[in-house]
Amino acid sequence: MSASLAQSAIGSQFAGLKFRNDMRLAEVWVPFVVWLMVSAITFGLGWIIVSGHFFKLVINFTRITDAKGRTLGRLRCDYDVEKEMRLVVIWLIVCIATLGIGLLFYSFHAARAALDATEIEWE
Which helix (H) or strand (E) segment holds residue 18: the answer is strand 18-21
Global pTM reads: 0.83
CA distance 48 to 107: 8
Going from N- to C-terminal start, the domains of the chain cover 16-118
**Cβ contacts of 72 within 8 Å, gap of 6 or more:** 17, 63, 64, 65, 66, 122, 123
What pLDDT, on a 0 to 100 scale, did the predictor assign at position 14?
A: 81
Return the amino acid letter for 52: G
Residues 63-115 pLDDT 10s: 999 999 999 999 999 998 888 888 889 999 999 999 989 999 999 999 999 99
